[in-house]
Amino acid sequence: MHPASHVTTTPDRPALIMAGTGETTTYLELEHRSNQGAHLFRSLGLKVGDVVAILMENGPRFLEVAWAAQRAGLYFTCIPTKLTAPEVEYILNDCGAQALIVSPDIESADELGARMDRLSLFMSAEARDPFHSYEGERAHFPVTPISDQAAGSDMLYTSGTSGRPKGVKLPISGSAFDSEIRMEVVCRELFGFEPGCIYLCPAPLYHSAPLRFSMTVQRLGGTVVLMEKFDPEAVLTLIEKYGVTCAQFVPTHFIRMLRLPDAVRKRFDPSLLKSVIHASAPCPVPVKEAMIAWWGPVIHEFYSGTEPVGMCHITSQEWLTHKGSVGRAVVGILHICDDEGEPLPARTEGSVYFEGGTWVAYHNDEAKTAEVHNQHGWSTLGDVGWMDEEGYLYLTDRKSFMIISGGVNIYPQEVENLLIGHPKIADVAVVGAPHEEMGEQVVAVVQPMPGFTPGPELGQEIIEFSRAHLSHVKVPRRVDFMDELPRHATGKLYKRLIRDAYWGKAEAKIV
């Protein structure tokens, strides 16, 4: 199925409704605009397998660009909007993008325009030099399909402990542009998405789950209600206003909705919801219990990643008898392995691997690809956990100390690489510490250079230094100090000792 297949039956049905403005895009409009976009990309010389990059806030043009690329057989790389210009530039160069489409309010847009003149540059709405108007250029082309339609794919980036993002690039098969994809099957059979469903998207489309769920809903002929920005009370209002039947959240969203005043929550009737999905970060057991008690047993959880190594799934009913689990494998075969990559018995903690999932190499990174495979050819997202006798997985750690704050992945090494260059820092470790609302917050633990006094003044200086060089989500929210960071004689940092101190698992002298 494909949005194009619904034009003859429901041309006036909304494919997209913007939550804040109410602007609506019908299936006929989506068809015409994505066809024009595909013609535009062909006019630039882009052929099947080439790459366009999307650096856009949630808005009506985002999915129009994605579908234009998809039906032209292109990869579309969606880039987080808060990255700095050098961070975006790295991704643009690594993925080999030939065109870039940006929103006018992107902070890095003007700098990118000056730095990336090798690309075809477009801006939605009112464009400014050196960008061309995406809508204006698109309008010159016919609304009928290009002659050589083929199925394209997203090419998204995920970071690792090195801090450098890694591209997940699945092979483009050359199949028909409207061929069925696995996500359709997952949404229908696991999550109960129905043709014509109404889906609320409260998160940025540059993330894999919101993007893929939204595009799948449009494959099914449903309506995406897209929020420009998450607001807990607005979520409840939108569900009732549009008759939302399905939605996807992260645990931070749950926490914020649960904190709404009782009077607000009592006004909301959750009976419209048929399927609510969450993932991205561990959900505290009390939070999930409260959400099921409020919204009923409609909440699904899945464990997977941008890398399609495998997938686990659990329903509300299952979770209530296996609290804390992220489910059983529904894609791939689940294994818990020791440090040598060999399977472990039930209820033994180890690295989580999947056998048989769809997987290809990280783009341009053979070393990182090798790190996530064991000698059996099984793949891992880098998480640690254990499995019970029934095959339910329980996660006990994150990939390599990755920090997940509000559902956003933050990788410590990149922050550490910056801070170690500060003239007053002798050594530094960046870890995630508990945060009641966001799940985790970024903390920099600093060993000052001799002659510099640890304290609030130096801590604030380090935070300001970080703000000048990093996107805001990566900036430490707290700076603590140690006389000397725990390192082995070989120089290896015992970061676990530092991190565990914040989680009540160990003691460390942190001031």
- Residue 382, token pair as written in the block: 């880098």
Give CA–CA dist 132/125, Å, rounded. Answer: 10
Output the CA–CA distances (angstroms, integers) from residue 61 to 35, 37, 155, 401, 410, in the order listed: 13, 11, 18, 36, 27
Sequence letter at residue 18: M
Residue 362: phi and psi, rounded to 5, are: -60, 140
- Residue 205, token pair as written in the block: 């489309």
Tell me the sheet residues that pair with 446: 428, 481
- Residue 335, token pair as written in the block: 């294994």
Residue 417 · residue 350 · CB < 8 Å: no
CATH architecture of structural domain 403-502: 2-Layer Sandwich (3.30)
Q: What is the DSSP code string of 416-434? A: HHHHTTSTTEEEEEEEEEE
Q: What is the DSSP code string of 359-393? A: --PEET-HHHHHHTB-TTS-B--S-EEEE-TT--E
Q: Max CA-CA distance within the chain?
A: 74
Residue 150 DSSP code: B
Q: How high is the pLDDT of residue 92? A: 97
Rounded (10°) CA dihedral 226, 435, 418, 451: 150
Residue 116 · residue 100 · CB < 8 Å: yes
Q: Select from 358, 385, 380 the least CA-distant residue to 370.
A: 380
Domain with CATH 3.40.50.980 in the chain: 27-178, 180-306
Give CA–CA dist 508/498, Å, rounded. Answer: 6
CATH class of 180-306: alpha beta
Q: Select from 429, 402, 452, 434 the least CA-distant residue to 498.
A: 429
Domain with CATH 2.30.38.10 in the chain: 308-397
Which uninterrupted H or E stretch holds 64? helix 60-71
Residue 361 · residue 349 · CB < 8 Å: no
Task: Give the global pTM.
Answer: 0.83
CATH class of 308-397: mainly beta
Cis peptide before 130 (omega within 30 of 0): yes
Decide if domain 27-178 falls under CATH 3.40.50.980.
yes
Domain with CATH 3.30.300.30 in the chain: 403-502
Residue 5 DSSP code: G
Q: Select from 243, 89, 219 the least CA-distant residue to 157.
A: 89
Residues in the chain predicted with pLDDT less than 50, given as ranges, are 160-162, 489-490, 506-511
R_g of the chain computed on alpha carbons:
23
Which uninterrupted H or E stretch holds 75? strand 75-78
Q: Select from 114, 7, 125 the least CA-distant residue to 67.
A: 7
Q: How high is the pLDDT of residue 507? A: 46
- Residue 403, token pair as written in the block: 């920090």
Residue 199 · residue 396 · CB < 8 Å: no
Q: How high is the pLDDT of residue 409? A: 78
User: pLDDT for 236-270, tens place per residue?
Assistant: 999 999 999 999 998 889 988 998 999 999 999 99
